[in-house]
């Protein structure tokens, strides 16, 4: 086993752990999944061809491990109360007036954060993802971070297409609002935010 390669891999441990935690919302399972990922990476070093970035390759492995962990959890169905709560969008309706018009209109977002702000932006993004309810965060990340299609996500989490649509709507509406308040408006020095 190559000690240098082990070191290179471990540099990314914290990043992998953060993604796994956001996705699984369970520190122990996240630790296990990352441990398995690092082990698999060590054993599969020959498969790493150096063309992809190391981190990208590791995240590819992590994705399979997370999906596996979620598949195992399918045996414990999602509590009906959680699904009911997160698919009830009454709270989102408060963003609109009685005519269904925006109370606080979305703004035009400025260009992508400059290189120097990247780190700060990612912290805000992470904060916003953390604020999403667990099931909502999970389906959003499977869809947008791991690029799974709707059928796959529904099959994995055992929810209907309709529920998936509502959860993704919740995720997008909450994230856009959170980023608007904590990044884009903050950057402009505005404080007219209505949470």
Site for another protein, rule CB under 8 A: 15, 19, 52-53, 55-56, 59-60, 63, 93, 95-96, 99-102, 105-109, 112, 121-122, 125-126, 129, 140-141, 143-151, 161, 164-165, 168-169, 172-173, 175-176, 179-180
Output the smallest distance, CB 144 to another protein, in A: 5
- Written as six digits, the tokens of 34 are 């990352």
- When the beta carbons of 39 and 122 are compared against another protein, the nearer one is 122
Output the smallest distance, CB 169 to another protein, in A: 4
- When the beta carbons of 28 and 115 are compared against another protein, the nearer one is 115
- When the beta carbons of 77 and 165 are compared against another protein, the nearer one is 165
- When the beta carbons of 79 and 120 are compared against another protein, the nearer one is 120
């Amino acid at each position: 086993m190559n000690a240098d390669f082990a070191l290179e891999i471990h540099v990314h441990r914290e990043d992998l752990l953060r993604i796994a935690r956001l996705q699984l919302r369970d520190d122990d399972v996240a630790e296990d999944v990352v441990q398995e990922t690092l082990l698999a990476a060590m054993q599969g070093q020959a498969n790493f061809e150096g063309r992809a970035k190391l981190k990208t390759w590791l995240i590819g492995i992590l994705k399979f491990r997370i999906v596996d962990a979620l598949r195992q959890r399918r045996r414990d169905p999602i509590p009906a109360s959680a699904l009911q709560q997160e698919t009830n969008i009454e709270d989102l309706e408060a963003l609109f007036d009685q005519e269904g018009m925006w109370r606080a209109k979305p703004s035009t977002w400025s260009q992508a954060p400059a290189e120097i702000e990247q780190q700060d932006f990612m912290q805000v993004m992470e904060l916003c993802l953390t604020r999403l309810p667990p099931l909502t965060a999970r389906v959003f990340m499977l869809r947008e971070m791991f690029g799974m299609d709707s059928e796959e996500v529904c099959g994995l989490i055992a929810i209907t297409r309709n529920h998936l649509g509502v959860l993704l709507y919740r995720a997008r509406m909450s994230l856009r609002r959170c980023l608007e308040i904590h990044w884009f408006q903050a950057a402009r020095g505005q404080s007219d935010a209505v949470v």
